Structure 1
């Protein structure tokens, strides 16, 4: 392994959560960089993927004091690249691009316009449909009768306009459901036709080059957990999804790690959403040869176009296990992964 003092330092945020851990874990075995993990909650488990860790201060992240925290951290640790592992972190860095340019640090951020467009599912669906892509029927009806007329027979889906993953998505079967959930959701909702089945859902990863081209795609048929994250995947070829992904990339021109979610409706793929960031399945993608964090190092630190990855086919299943950290006096914690549960 190279001397740590000669490796560039890369900060990975959100290492107390699934995405940040996946980013750090994909970088760790290759030893190209010194990994600085950052989060509000630093756990013994997250430390195992990092060379050093820093706990976020408990202050308003919209404040100048929080920006000063990052200025100090970048200067003290010599951070050259930041990989945001949480959507809230992406929003913070996106809103402070100029400040981080002044610090001389690179941040793995997608195109600013695409981040803004994807922040609201209703706005994105309008833009997607206007571009001529096969779109899932979507509406914000004022009544259940109007919903049925616009979207077809029940059940229908109500999802947050602003949110991530599958959190907040509910099935509506009748007028009572419509009244309850639209009232409870305030203005933050969008209704859609149910497209396909859970067995027809796919997550797709690309690394956008900003000019309408990309590396990938890696296509995975998936099953979601109750928390809305990917629990099982099968990496495979899907010509129809690959073709549509190419068209979408040419139109929206993403930069860096980009995640697309699809449902099949018959023989037609329908885009659920674009997540213009690292996703919860980044560690699974890395296991099959699509290592987005390494691509960021090639692109943003070394200034070269990453090589097209060689993607393997196969299946993966996520499971829980115990992590035991010894705390004997004078002994550093040592991780033990207990029996799977």
Structure 2
């Protein structure tokens, strides 16, 4: 029996992974981990283990014990923090008797710092680059970028910590963080013009499969609504960027359109938090990941259904006891 371990199963990406795998490949034995003992994802796995904090000194040795105890064949990180920790510790992971669903190490490192990604795109001369600055006062930045402009954390995801600057008061509250923690950018397009594209890369610069969705964000930065939308020019931008950065496995690229070009917001070299939505439309990146990292089988382009998706809060109820 094949055993797959998914980390961070209390988060939307982690339990979305579990639900997609359980529905499409029920013969898999699923092990879930999370730092919280009441993580909802344990409702869809066969075994649950409470994890230490990802940053803790003993995390890798703890994981080694869990992998050995449950005879795990594949570990899929289900939160951003685990992607980074596991990528950093690849040398130790090479001594484990299992596989890890990890992307290109260079791309993972680039994706951690949006300024580093900006510099890479600048060196490439790519049209998807958003002009970005680490210094400047309100007057100079508003002249360069227009109003409102944004201050974006260099190291974050899902639009967390993003500030729209409309006047000197907005800027003054954040200006001390510009450079080390924040970067200034023009506001690109509108909230209705944001797209998320999932690709499965072969590590050589080719895209094996992809899905493109227009989306609206919830307040926490996750996708609240999504529409299947295709644009040839967006496909061209995705193919071009993948030829540069050579992603391996599931990868997400976020874009906005400025009226002329598709501008890259970020690349997330991991499975998406929209994985359950993608699965519903025919793009099962969770299953693709298992097939690739365990069998070396690259996916082909699936048929994508048309439509839209809306996320809502759902209850999971356990009767007759106060815990899982």
TM-score class, shorter-chain normalisation, is over 0.9
Where does residue 26 of structure 1 map in the other structure? 20
Instruction: Identify the match of residue 105 of structure 1 among 92, 98, 102.
Output: 98
Answer yes or no: is 1:117 the counterpart of 2:110. yes
2:137 corresponds to 1:148:
no
Is 1:179 paired with 2:172? yes
1:11 and 1:36 in contact (8 A); partners too: yes
Q: 1:136 to 1:186 in 2, by over 3 A?
A: closer
1:54 has 2:49 as partner: yes
Question: Residue 139 of structure 1: SS of its match in structure 2?
Answer: coil
The 1-side partners of 2:274 and 2:321 are apart by: 35
Q: How does 1:4-23 map to 2 (within 5 A)?
A: 7-23=1-17
Deviations, residues 208-250 of structure 1 (Å, cap 9, x unaligned): 1100012222000000001110000001221111111011111
CA distance in 2, matches of 1:43, 1:315: 31
92 and 178 in structure 1: CA distance in 2 versus 1, 3 angstrom threshold: same
Deviations 1:159-210 (A, max 9, x none): 1001111110010012222121122567210111011111110000001110
Q: Is the 8 A contact 1:261 1:273 kept in 2?
A: yes
Match of 1:281 in 2: 274
Report the secondary structure of 1:138's partner residue: coil
- The answer on whether the counterparts of 2:9 and 2:40 sit within 8 Å (CA) in structure 1 is no
Aligned pairs, number: 322
Please list every run of 5 or more consecutive structure 2 residues that lacks an aligned counterpart in the other structure: none
Rounded to whole Å, the distance in 2 between the matches of 1:286 and 1:266 is 30
Q: Take 1:212 and 1:67, find their aligned partners in 2: how far apart are those partners? A: 31
User: Quick one: distance in 2 between partners of 1:298 and 1:44?
Assistant: 26
Which residue of 2 is the match for residue 217 of structure 1?
210
For the pair 1:197 / 2:206, whether they are aligned, the reply is no
Could you tell me which residue of structure 1 aligns to residue 81 of structure 2? 88
Superposed counterparts of 1:187-336, under 5 Å: 187-327=180-320
Tell me the residue number matched to 1:3.
Answer: none
- Aligned residues of 1:217 and 1:242 also touching (Cα < 8 A): no
Which whole-Å CA distance do the structure 2 matches of 1:266 and 1:98 have between them? 45
Q: Once the 2 structures are TM-superposed, how far is the Cα of residue 70 of structure 1 from its aligned partner?
A: 1.1
Unmatched runs of 5 consecutive residues or more in structure 1: 1-6, 334-341
Counterpart residue number, 1:4: none
Alpha-carbon shift at residue 323 of structure 1 (Å): 2.1
**Candidates 64, 67, 77, aligned match of 2:60:** 67
Corresponding position of 1:127: 120
Q: 1:328 to 1:22 in 2, by over 3 A?
A: closer
Query: Structure 1 residues 328 and 95, CA, compared in 2 at 3 Å: closer, same or farther?
Result: closer
SS of residue matched to 1:61: coil
Shift in Å at residue 297 of structure 1?
A: 1.4
CA distance in 2, matches of 1:60, 1:237: 37
- How far apart are the structure 2 equivalents of 1:231 and 1:157? 22
User: Does the aligned pair in 1 maintain the 2:9–2:32 contact within 8 Å?
Assistant: yes
CA contact (8 A) 1:15 1:42 kept: no
CA distance in 2 between counterparts of 1:305 and 1:37 reads 25
Equivalent position to 2:152, from 149, 159, 170: 159
CA-CA distance at 1:264 after TM superposition: 0.8
Q: Is the 8 A contact 2:3 2:28 kept in 1?
A: yes
The structure with more radius of gyration:
1
- CA positional deviation for 1:257: 1.1
Contact 1:223/1:233, CA 8 A, preserved across alignment: yes
Secondary structure in 2 matching 1:154 = coil
